[in-house]
């Protein structure tokens, strides 16, 4: 980070326009920043969070944190603490300061002894009973299991406990895999080193696309709980494991009697999403295939209810067996209710009516529900964007709000702006106020910049700023589905766009010498390659996702390079055009473009939240079409001006 800052200062010095004082200042300051990391006793800073998420800061203060590992995906902290029952020491794996969590429970490796304790004693070995449900119901079968997000290993241990023959455990964070297989292997009973277990570092859907295996159980125990939403995180983060397309892939990789087992917040939205995927897969009578168990806690919402979707209809015997399993002994504090009963759909205990299971939620019902219930898709994958407005939700008859199911939405209100919208609110403040102060105030009082830009010139540079950052935002979200790893996705897309745009800017100088007609080439290139990428992305996605990571990175870069090359041309062409009339317009051109690049990022996020990536892509596309029109008008104005001077 310090080295990057030093490079930025040196670049500023190179553009100082013969201002030797500024060049000297940036050179010396940049050198100081550059050498600082090499003089420090440690090669990293221990960043402290501003919020005590899941007790991480308290654990640091009392010395309970026993390991810190930096991974390309997350910062991982291992904290020693008592489990929920207060009887055993567990290892709390905190991702990024507590934004997400998992736990390693102590285990001797003796499954025979553990089976004798289960189901009477769950809390000493697992986070809750919901972890075990699918494995318990299929314990007499020689089953194959896929675990997406294996984390601390509870799901893997549950699968081994009930006799799985083969387990594929997929985890995004390599550091967590390494901890489970090496440093904490003795503590967790060596579950990840069991010959039945294959651990894969990667993203769940990318793994599904690469494998042809069918599974008896696919399990996703969410470590991204609603507490991060309540704290104001995650609302603008895409959740590609909770989209219609994701559920279709899950169903396609399950055996005929297989079970999809998910613990995640807001099960009403999970049900509508799975129902739509079920219908689009050509199946019917979805309600007969769905079970949901929810914890009974009056003052704390259940953020991890248990959703079980069975590819064949549930039988009375299976439902009764699960109900018995979820009966909590006196030594456990949480009881459970069956809130989606496939055998008795008309039961008063069922929270959702039959419309939720059709895959075609009636519009009148969707409008009556005070939170977003429509199924997220890969085009609009914001599962955590629940809020319809800034008002507090009040339970009313027929609006499907109750505290234990959706209360966390109201719990996120601690200020006049709900916590889950604070990130958007502050993004708006930063982009508008701070951007205006930094960019426009200096120019207003600088004598050489007191010249007015025409409307077409102003519009041109504003449109380029909004269009470029919107394209960049959409490309990152599009290709993160293909590449998977967030760090590699951001690095690949930003590097490719900046490199190709830089080369495009360099090539634009040659275009300017070829005549006015050639200056149309960049816009025509953007139109052609933009539409080509838009129309072919589903094909690209389907074919690249099944490849290994290095191929996905290289081919994603190749797909992006042409449009990036042409995106780099319009700005220098515009600068050249306005500078031919007055050099005083150049600083204003940079300021307008810079401001709307920042503000355009905010607009792109809002557009994606409400309209999806495809419409947001078309907005960027339209910006460049309008910029093309403005450029033609600017060129004509320049030509007229030149003729007038002759």
Cα distances from 282 to residues 240, 244, 252, 276, in angstroms, run 22, 13, 11, 10
Secondary structure of 457-478 in HEC code, one letter for each residue: HHHHHHHHHHHHHHHHHHHHHH
Cis before 257? omega within 30: no
Model pLDDT, residue 397: 67
CATH number for the segment(s) 419-645:
1.20.1250
Tell me: the pLDDT tens digits for 523-555?
999 999 999 988 888 888 878 877 888 888 999
As its CATH architecture, domain 111-411 has: 3-Layer(aba) Sandwich (3.40)
Query: Under a CB-based contact definition with an 8 Å cutoff, are residues 289 and 394 in contact?
Result: no
Q: Write down the pLDDT at residue 52.
A: 58
Cα–Cα distances in angstroms (integers) from residue 313 to residues 216, 261, 291, in the given order: 14, 15, 10
Distance CA 421, CA 414 (A): 11
pLDDT given at position 232: 43
Which positions of the chain have pLDDT values less than 50? 225-233, 646
Q: What does the alpha-carbon distance between residue 296 and residue 276 come to, in Å, rounded to a whole number?
A: 28
Task: Reduce the DSSP state of residue 561 to 3 states and report it.
Answer: helix
Q: Delimit the domains of the chain by residue range.
A: 111-411, 419-645
Residue 365 near residue 357 (C-beta atoms within 8 A): no
Residue 227 has a pLDDT of 40
Q: Three-class SS of residue 389?
A: coil
Helices (H) and strands (E) in the chain, counts: 23, 12
Instruction: Give the Cα separation of 620 and 327 in Å (integer).
Output: 54
Report the alpha-carbon distance of residue 28 to residue 34 in Å, rounded. Answer: 10
pLDDT tens digit sequence for 10-65: 877 777 666 677 778 888 888 888 887 777 665 556 666 656 566 677 777 777 78
Q: Are strands 254-263 and 215-221 parallel, antiparallel or unpaired?
A: parallel
Residue 551: count of CB within 10 angstroms of its CB: 11
Q: Measured between alpha carbons, how far is 313 from 310 in angstroms, rounded to an integer? A: 6
Q: How far apart are CA 125 and CA 105, in angstroms?
A: 6
Q: What is the pLDDT of residues 385-439, one digit of tens each?
A: 888 877 777 777 667 877 777 767 776 655 667 766 777 777 888 778 777 776 6
Write down the mean pLDDT value for the chain. 84
The pLDDT, as a whole number, for residue 231 is 42
Are 238 and 246 in contact, with CB atoms under 8 Å apart? no
pTM value?
Answer: 0.87
Question: Rounded to an integer, what distance in angstroms lies between the CA atom of residue 624 and that of residue 466?
Answer: 9
Q: How many residues does the chain have?
A: 646
């Amino acid at each position: 980070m310090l080295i990057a800052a030093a490079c930025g200062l040196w670049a500023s010095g190179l553009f100082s326009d013969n201002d030797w004082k500024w060049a000297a200042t940036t050179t010396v300051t940049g050198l100081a920043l550059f050498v600082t990391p090499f003089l420090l006793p440690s090669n990293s800073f221990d960043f402290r969070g501003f919020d005590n998420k899941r007790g991480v800061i308290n654990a640091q203060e009392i010395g309970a944190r026993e390991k810190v590992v930096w991974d390309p995906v997350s910062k991982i902290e291992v904290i020693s603490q008592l489990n929920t029952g207060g009887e055993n020491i567990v290892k709390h794996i905190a991702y990024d300061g507590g934004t997400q969590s998992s736990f390693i429970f102590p285990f001797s490796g003796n499954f025979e002894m553990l089976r004798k304790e289960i189901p009477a004693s769950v809390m000493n070995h697992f986070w809750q009973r919901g972890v075990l449900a699918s494995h318990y119901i299929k314990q007499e079968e020689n089953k194959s299991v896929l675990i997406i997000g294996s984390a601390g290993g509870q799901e893997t241990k549950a699968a081994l406990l009930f006799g799985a023959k083969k387990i594929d455990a997929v985890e995004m964070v390599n550091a967590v895999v390494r901890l489970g297989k090496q440093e904490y292997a003795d503590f967790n009973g060596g579950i990840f080193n069991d010959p039945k277990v294959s651990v894969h570092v990667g993203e769940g859907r990318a793994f599904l696309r690469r494998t042809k295996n069918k599974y008896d159980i696919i399990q996703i125990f969410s470590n991204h709980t609603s507490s991060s939403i309540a704290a104001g995180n995650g609302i603008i983060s895409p959740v590609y494991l909770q989209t219609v397309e994701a559920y279709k892939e899950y169903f396609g990789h399950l055996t005929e009697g297989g079970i999809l087992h998910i613990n995640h917040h807001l099960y009403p939205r999970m049900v509508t999403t799975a129902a739509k995927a079920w219908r689009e897969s050509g199946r019917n009578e979805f309600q007969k295939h769905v079970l949901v168990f929810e914890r009974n806690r009056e003052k704390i919402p259940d953020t991890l209810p248990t959703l079980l979707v069975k590819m064949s209809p549930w039988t009375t015997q299976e439902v009764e067996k699960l109900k018995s399993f979820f009966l909590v002994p006196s030594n456990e504090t949480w009881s459970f209710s069956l809130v989606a009963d496939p055998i008795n759909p008309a039961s008063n205990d069922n929270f959702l009516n039959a419309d939720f299971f059709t895959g075609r939620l009636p519009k009148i019902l969707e409008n009556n529900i005070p939170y977003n219930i429509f199924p997220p898709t890969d085009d609009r994958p914001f599962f955590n964007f629940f809020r319809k407005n800034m008002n507090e939700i009040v339970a009313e008859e027929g609006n499907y709000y109750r505290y234990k199911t959706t209360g966390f939405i109201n719990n996120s209100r601690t200020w006049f702006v709900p916590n889950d919208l604070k990130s958007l609110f502050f993004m708006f403040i930063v982009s508008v106020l701070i951007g205006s102060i930094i960019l426009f105030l200096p120019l207003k009082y600088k004598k050489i910049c007191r010249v007015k830009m025409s409307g077409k010139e102003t519009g041109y540079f504003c449109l380029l700023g909004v269009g470029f950052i919107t394209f960049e935002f959409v490309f990152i979200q599009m290709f993160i589905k293909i590449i998977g790893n967030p760090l590699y996705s951001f690095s690949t897309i930003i590097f490719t766009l900046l490199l190709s745009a830089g080369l495009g800017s360099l090539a634009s100088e040659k275009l300017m010498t070829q005549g006015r007609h050639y200056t149309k080439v960049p816009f025509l290139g953007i139109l052609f390659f933009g539409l080509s990428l838009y129309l072919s992305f589903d094909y690209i996605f389907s074919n690249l996702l099944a490849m290994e990571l290095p191929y996905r990175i290289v081919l994603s870069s190749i797909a992006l390079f042409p449009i990036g090359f042409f995106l780099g041309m319009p700005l220098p062409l515009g600068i050249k055009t306005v500078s031919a009339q007055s050099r005083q317009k150049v600083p204003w051109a940079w300021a307008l473009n810079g401001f709307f690049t920042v503000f355009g990022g905010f607009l792109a996020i809002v557009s994606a939240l409400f309209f999806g990536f495809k419409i947001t892509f078309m907005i960027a596309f339209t910006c460049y079409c309008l910029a093309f029109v403005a450029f033609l008008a600017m060129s004509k104005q320049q030509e007229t001006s030149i003729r007038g001077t002759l």
